[in-house]
Amino acid sequence: MSIIRLQDLYFKPYINKVEIKAIVKHLAEQVKADLPKGEVPIFVGILNGCFLFAADFIREYNGDCEVSFVKLASYQGTKTSENVKQLVGINEDLTGRTVIILEDIIDTGTTLQEIYNIFRHQNVKQLKVATLFFKPDVFRKELPIDYIGKSIDDKFIVGYGLDYNGLGRNYPEIYQLTTTPKMKNIVLFGPPGAGKGTQAAFLKDMYNLVHISTGDVFRFNIKNQTELGLLAKKYMDEGDLVPDEVTINMLKAEVEKNADAQGFIFDGFPRTQSQAEALDAFLSDKGEQINAMIALEVPEDILVTRLLERGKTSGRTDDTDEVKIRNRFNEYNTKTAILKDYFDAQNKYFGIDGVGSIEDITKRISKVFDQL
């Protein structure tokens, strides 16, 4: 989960899909446990926000039931109003029935008051209210709420049916209103020989960014025998892969050391989806995000020629063996494919033609960067 933008506002990850599923399941089990054996309740969802919650709740409810909906409206933008409009009313005969209201969120209680007004004269057997989220700090009514999924702070949220000006309902997670990110952060990718290091140096100077190379960070920590460096060396000496947690903590330390930076170029990280998710989570906690994954795209045959030529002076043995070079490309393509899908799903993947003069390639990257 990473920061999302809806129109003029930004929202940071708040509650993930796993937690939401657990909350809904627990609510359904609570309701079922409280009902007499053989009781067939009618669940009434309050549209529009509850449609995902209601659907998942009904799937989790282990028993016979009926479902209906009432459409009310009280929000304008990020503010709740005192005026509640009933747009679609109840059509079923509820006489003698057990009615359980399904609400996505209860804050001031204005909508809840209207709900009680609607059902006051319906001659129901009993009326109960189950809400996915509750904001106790702003609740102003003396009205009962029978089931609360999760109490939250008084901050505007979107996702899982909740919206901002009609947008955001389709997100499967919950996002919380946050400040506008101040940084521009990119993940720079490119196969061996694509000129990634050269372009990183130009971008660093052009945009006042901090270039974080995973290799450089590892070498620094190991050479200076930092706590993380010693831990990484221990794994490496034993022939084991360095755990993601160690690598991520090294990068976190680099980011914290440059808190006033205009942004970061992450070079050589992330390499897996789990690392990408961890980086997103870390930056989201700081109110920041990865703005783009920029990948330099160069035909393999051109790269082979470049590396073989470089191998004549670089002193690197893996630059002189074409078989080893192509194996490195295979490894790169495998890893990049996973990350490409991950960032592409967020509309953050940008493939850049890496063939041409250094200046032309820099202009292509800058064109993307300037639009972030």
DSSP string, 182-208: ----EEEE--TTS-HHHHHHHHHHHHT
Residue 204 CA to residue 186 CA, distance in Å, equals 11
Q: Which of 56, 58, 63 is nearest to 32 (CA)?
A: 63
Residue with tokens 């991950």: 342
Give the chain's count of helices (H) and strands (E).
11, 15
Q: Are 192 and 311 in contact (CB under 8 A)?
A: no
Distance of CA 329 to the CA centre of its chain: 30
- Catalytically annotated residues: 196, 271, 310, 316, 328
Residue type, 345: A
> Is the distance from CB of 266 to CB of 241 less than 8 angstroms?
no
Distance CA 123, CA 98 (A): 10
Written as one letter, the residue type at 181 is P
Question: What one-character DSSP code corresponds to residue 34?
Answer: H
User: Phi/psi zone of residue 142: left (φ > 0), alpha (ψ -120 to 50 degrees), beta?
Assistant: beta
- Residue 55: how many other CB atoms lie within 10 Å: 15
What CA–CA distance (Å, rounded) separates 352 from 350?
6
Alpha carbon distance 65, 95 (integer Å): 16
Asked whether 294 and 365 are in contact (CB, 8 A), the reply is yes
Please report the DSSP string for 265-313 in residue order: EEES---SHHHHHHHHHHHHHTT----EEEEEE--HHHHHHHHHHHHHH
